């Protein structure tokens, strides 16, 4: 979110938050054509575990963007991604998105260890009608991941790559990753970054929660920050040009950590 938008957001009064917007509401509509906007959270509030994780948060995801989601542990990054994915419903505000559902990329730990890559692809085929199994099998072969190997025998990096392949092979325009590169060595990370860029569909976008700013910030066009009870969105370019900082420096030096 740009500074002007943040100010406007702050200036909104309670009166303007209509009864409608307080209702649980996820709307889907074809908003893309006019605005090239894939998803919008408007004034979204979410309470979890007895505290308000998101408080009137507003963010927008346009097409052809890679957006980082950055904030301290437990601040609400996964919650934000799950709201975007439709896995959680907001307690207030609205989520407006395309009819095509987002692809929320599960991490390796969501599958049983005895499952093979083939089993995981079968799971995706059964659950997601938009899953392109042939493409997934082709990418697995390209990545030298044997379809018959059980997950427990795959390296951590290959487990994550498998999950990335499965998620990317859903016909979506919005791919949501929660810590996709966690625990992966620098060489493999570089390779997976390249793989991601090569295989993301045209006119799609990625939203990615991560703590690995040094490694990943070069990917980001924008960053969504969560801190101090607020959520705001900035262009990476703005952070570099206006604040003369990297995303990591901005995160460490400019935002409040409890």
Ligand X SMILES: Nc1ncnc2c1ncn2[C@@H]1O[C@H](COP(=O)(O)OP(=O)(O)OP(=O)(O)O)[C@@H](O)[C@H]1O
Binding site for ligand X (CB under 6 A): 48-49, 53, 71, 73-79
- The answer to whether the beta carbons of residues 112 and 55 sit under 8 Å apart is no
Residue 248 in tokens: 């990591």
Residue 248 CB, nearest approach to ligand X (Å): 15
Q: Residues 16, 19, 22, 27: what is their CA dihedral angle, to the nearest 10 degrees?
A: -100
Residue 21 CB, nearest approach to ligand X (Å): 22
Residue 127 CB, nearest approach to ligand X (Å): 20
Nearer to ligand X, 52 or 133 (CB): 52
Residue 86 in tokens: 């439709």
Nearer to ligand X, 8 or 183 (CB): 183
Residue 104 CB, nearest approach to ligand X (Å): 13
Nearer to ligand X, 73 or 109 (CB): 73
Residue 102 CB, nearest approach to ligand X (Å): 17
Residue 75 CB, nearest approach to ligand X (Å): 4
Backbone angles phi, psi at 192, to 5 degrees: -70, -35
Nearer to ligand X, 169 or 206 (CB): 206
d(CA 192, CA 220) in angstroms, rounded, equals 15
- The answer to whether the beta carbons of residues 155 and 145 sit under 8 Å apart is no
Q: What is the DSSP letter of 15?
A: G
Residue 79 CB, nearest approach to ligand X (Å): 3
Nearer to ligand X, 83 or 166 (CB): 83
d(CA 175, CA 167) in angstroms, rounded, equals 7
Q: Which helix (H) or strand (E) holds 174?
A: strand 174-178
Nearer to ligand X, 47 or 149 (CB): 47
Q: Nearest CA to 229 among 69, 93, 81, 75?
A: 75
- The answer to whether the beta carbons of residues 132 and 169 sit under 8 Å apart is yes
d(CA 124, CA 113) in angstroms, rounded, equals 16
């Amino acid at each position: 979110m740009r500074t002007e938008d943040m100010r406007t957001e702050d200036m909104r009064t309670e009166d303007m938050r209509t009864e409608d917007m307080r209702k649980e509401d996820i709307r889907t509509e074809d908003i893309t054509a006019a605005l090239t906007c894939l998803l919008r959270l408007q004034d979204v509030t979410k309470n979890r575990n007895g505290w308000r994780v998101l408080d009137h948060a507003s963010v927008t995801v346009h097409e052809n963007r890679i957006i980082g989601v950055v904030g301290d542990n437990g601040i609400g990054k996964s919650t934000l991604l799950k709201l975007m994915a439709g896995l959680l419903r907001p307690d207030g505000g609205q989520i407006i998105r395309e009819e095509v559902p987002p692809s929320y990329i599960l991490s390796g730990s969501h599958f049983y260890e005895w499952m093979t890559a083939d089993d995981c692809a079968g799971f995706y085929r059964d659950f997601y009608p938009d899953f392109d199994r042939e493409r997934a099998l082709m990418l697995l072969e390209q990545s030298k991941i044997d379809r018959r190997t059980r997950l427990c025998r795959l390296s951590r990096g290959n487990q994550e790559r498998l999950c990335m392949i499965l998620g990317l092979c859903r016909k979506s325009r919005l791919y949501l990753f929660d810590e996709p590169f966690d625990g992966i060595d620098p060489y493999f990370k570089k390779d997976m970054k390249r793989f991601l860029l090569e295989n993301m569909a045209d006119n799609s976008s990625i939203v990615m929660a991560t703590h690995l700013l040094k490694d990943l910030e070069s990917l980001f066009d924008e960053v969504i920050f969560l801190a101090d009870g607020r959520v705001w969105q900035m262009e990476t370019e703005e952070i570099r040009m206006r604040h003369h900082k990297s995303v990591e420096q901005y995160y460490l030096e400019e935002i409040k950590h409890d």
